Amino acid sequence: MGPHPAVATVRHAVRRALADLAAGDLVLVACSGGADSLALAAAAGFTAPRAGLRAGLLTVDHGLQAGSAARALDVVRLAPELKLEPAEVLTVRVGTAGGPEAAARDARYAALGEAARRHGAAAVLLGHTLDDQAETVVLGLARGSGPRSLAAMSAVAGVYRRPLLEIGRATTRAACAALGLTPWDDPHNDDPAFSRVRVRHRVLPVLERELGPGIAGALARTAALCRDDADALDAWASRAHAEARAAAADPGGSGREPYAGAEGGSGREPYARAEGGSGREGGAGAAGGEALAVAVLADLPPAVRGRVLRLAAFAAGVPAGSLGAAHVREADRLVTEWRGQRGVNLPGGVTLYRRYGRLVFAGNG
């Protein structure tokens, strides 16, 4: 007699996720003790040795609740039963940047990444499920985010792997029950102060009731489609970014361009730059930033051009996460609605101006 169907489903997902690893590789499971990560840990402990792999367990103590250290030790004590070695508690200090959810996530991933490097792990398995994926899509929609945000979580991201993205929470709970494992239910998962909890308990049930069952699966499929599109656009943008930089650095390139001072106008583009700009005609190394050829940018679809502008801004020193849609829109106007306007001030002390057929990102150094 085979395993319970839920157990078999989770094991199959883990087997697929580990199929490309080499014999002897170490896989670490990030386990909070909740149903999703507990089912994942049990499946990894069963599957990894049969694939010639080693499997261990990591649990993170965020220190945000009374008794968190004791619960983390309880999770580690399960490791021998689940055939997981090594097993370790990672104690972190959660900051405040970005709000409590983001701060806890940043601390958790920093600790997991450091542990993976220290142990020489080939992969860290995360217990995100199809339901988590659906919630992430809804949150992205609410923020008005683009397709990269709607793509939600990827099955593989660097050392991290998410084998359960096509499996719902009902299955992981059933797997734990079939294996005699008792999950820990984090009270934060029912706290409406967190936006994800409100989506889980209020928004998605309304969608299911009003639109019919299967909403979580449909949203997860939407994420997969958005991810394919976003990956393709990002690859195109990376090539276009390199092309635009090369064209801007070529002294025999675009040269001076017509100044579109009015619709259909001609003439020469005036010298125009943002306050504090360097005043130099920029190549790829202008003023601590870089430069892009306007002619290359102008031929790109808006979705690709916006990505190129973001790549260039980050390369010039704009802090990650600080560049908003309004910044990109104003930068884009220097390409598509050029009327001799002054430049754009970007976060991190970076200024962007247009001069002689080039967009110059000037750093503050």
Is 323 or 260 the better-scoring residue by pLDDT? 323
176 and 268 assigned to the same domain: no
Q: Is 131 annotated as a binding residue?
A: no
Would you say residue 108 lies in a domain?
A: yes
Q: In the chain, how many domains are there?
A: 2
- 58-76: per-residue pLDDT in tens? 999 988 788 889 999 999 9
How far apart (Å, rounded) are the C-alpha atoms in residues 138 and 125? Answer: 24
287 and 156 assigned to the same domain: no
Would you say residue 320 lies in a domain?
A: yes
Would you say residue 107 lies in a domain?
A: yes
* pLDDT above 90: residue 301: yes
Would you say residue 220 lies in a domain?
A: no
Q: Is 68 annotated as a binding residue?
A: no
| Residue-level pLDDT at 143 | 80
The tokens describing 153, both together, are: 């979580």
CA 242 to chain centre: 23
Quote the domain boundaries for residue 105: 5-213
Q: Is 231 annotated as a binding residue?
A: no
40 and 161 assigned to the same domain: yes
- pTM score: 0.78
151 and 291 assigned to the same domain: no
Q: What is the DSSP string of 276-320?
A: T---SPP-TTGGGSEEEEHHHHHTS-HHHHHHHHHHHHHHTTPPT
85 and 21 assigned to the same domain: yes
Would you say residue 153 lies in a domain?
A: yes
Q: Is 74 annotated as a binding residue?
A: no
What is the CATH classification number for the domain harbouring 51?
3.40.50.620
60 and 29 assigned to the same domain: yes
52 and 200 assigned to the same domain: yes
206 and 261 assigned to the same domain: no
Three-class DSSP category at 351: strand
What is the CATH classification number for the domain harbouring 325?
3.30.465.60
- 41-52: per-residue pLDDT in tens? 999 999 999 999
The residue from 213, 248, 271 where one domain ends is: 213
How far apart (Å, rounded) are the C-alpha atoms in residues 196 and 91? Answer: 24
Q: Is 149 annotated as a binding residue?
A: no
How high is the mean pLDDT of the chain?
Answer: 87
Lowest-pLDDT range of 81-95, 188-202, 262-276: 262-276
Q: Is 34 annotated as a binding residue?
A: yes
The tokens describing 35, both together, are: 């149903």
| Residue-level pLDDT at 3 | 93
| Residue-level pLDDT at 252 | 63
Buried b (16+ CB within 10 A) or exposed e, 336-348: eebeeeebbebee
83 and 202 assigned to the same domain: yes
